[in-house]
Amino acid sequence: MALKGLDIFKLTPKTNCKDCGNPTCMAFAMKVAQGAVELDKCPHLSDEAKAQLGDATAPPMKKFEVGKGEDKFTLGGETVLFRHDKTFVSKNLYAVSLCEDSIDKKLPDVRKVDYDRLGERMYVEFLNVIDKGDADKFVETVKKAAAEGRGVILETSNADAAAKALAVAGDRVILNGANASNYEEFAKTAGESAVLGVSGKNLDELYDTVAALEKLGFKNLILDLTGETVKETFSNAVQVRRAALKDNDRTFGYPSIVNLHKLASGDTRMQTALASVFTLKYGSIIIMSEMEYAQALPLYGLRQNIYTDPQKPMKVEPGVYPLNGADENSVCVTTVDFALTYFVVSGELERSGVPLNLLISDAGGYSVLTAWAAGKLSAGSIAKFIKEFDIEGKIKSRTLVIPGKVAVLKGEIEEKLSGWTVVVAPNEAVELVKFFREFKV
């Protein structure tokens, strides 16, 4: 049962200080009970009280890090089933499955998937190395994978091979091989150096194995929910998440692995479709047979949308974005910094093939009409942007194309920007291709 504010208040020292950011300890206790503040924020709380309260006030899904220092990934910590309820906490990660026979072929494609989108690096975070039965070849493959600077998943049921591989796998490693028949041996092998992946023939067996590992004091676990079929795997993922978050059953309160390499091997399109499904429900690490650039674009875009706080709109960094080989003589086009607007507009501008300088000013992350209504997109804000970014010193063109939905700003902008010609674009982005192909300065 979750603790109430009064339960926590009984264990807090009555100092009535403001060290915790609250005027009274009762206020602090209520915030802890609501999950709005962490226990560590109170400098007067004893270690004994923290130990008593720690598990009870922790998220229903355990949160931990794979790796050390800045070189780490965060898993778990989820508190809701649906993003619109609050927000998702730790983004799911993507892995590519390989072995000694395929690593040299797959790594070049894996390396190509590495780009920046809205300030977030998009790349394959884990390499899943399969043990094919030859321990020496397995270890050599793990060495190659670890040298890529990514997390490594060791997929093996051989504890001896796992021990040798752990020695060369680096810090960001998951040992995925524990089950009902070998969990004690694998727990010893993993020790404190690795997160332990656990699987079972069904959810009942998985539950019992996790409970047994917890009795051994091993709680850095990740649950491999991959079943015999897609339907079974999806059911496992949903049931485990609901058990942890709705029923507060902490035995299932761990991140998960979904292995699409096993479910749809050789079918790239099916794996991409399934990866999008399990990004939503609820794979913490999704393993695929391969990851090509064309696959990555929609998956990483979906992940970023899902794992961004819905209360904080995604924004593009203000600046000048040359498109289609634009130079200082190319026409300027402006729109807002709302990420969706930027990607739709820039995509259509690129399709036109016309060299253009896209100017993105700070509009608070709002869409065009919302930014205009809120005063974030105005003649003043556009003129200020052009001055602060020294657009006139960098670009010789004095033609500025503005969004059609704010055509009302044309006159005001021309008043503030002496020597500039302001042109109104069509209302809809899809019309931009034809507009610019026919456009003449």
Whether residue 30 has pLDDT greater than 50: yes
Least confident of 58-72, 215-229, 268-282: 58-72
> Which burial class, exposed, middle or buried, applies to 186 when counting CB atoms under 10 A from its CB (0-12, 13-18, 19+)?
buried
352: its two tokens: 């036109």
User: Using one digit for the tens of pLDDT, what is the confidence trace for 349-382?
Assistant: 999 999 999 999 999 888 999 999 999 999 999 9
Domain ranges in the chain are 5-50, 63-306, 319-437
| Domain covering 63-306 in this structure, CATH number | 3.20.20.20
Q: What is the mean pLDDT of residues 263-267?
A: 91
The CATH class given to the 319-437 domain equals: alpha beta
Across the chain, what does the average pLDDT equal? 88
Whether residue 139 has pLDDT greater than 70: yes
Identify the three-state secondary structure at position 223.
strand
Measured distance CA(12)–CA(19) in Å, rounded: 13
Whether residue 126 has pLDDT greater than 90: yes
Whether residue 119 has pLDDT greater than 50: yes
Kindly report whether the peptide bond that precedes residue 282 is cis, defined as omega within 30 degrees of 0: yes
Measured between alpha carbons, how far is residue 29 from residues 1, 15, 39, 98, 286 in Å?
Answer: 16, 13, 9, 49, 38
pTM: 0.78
- What is the helix (H) or strand (E) element at residue 340, kind and residue range? helix 339-352
Whether residue 45 has pLDDT greater than 80: no
The CA angle 191-192-198, to the nearest 5 degrees, is 60
| Domain covering 5-50 in this structure, CATH number | 1.10.15.40
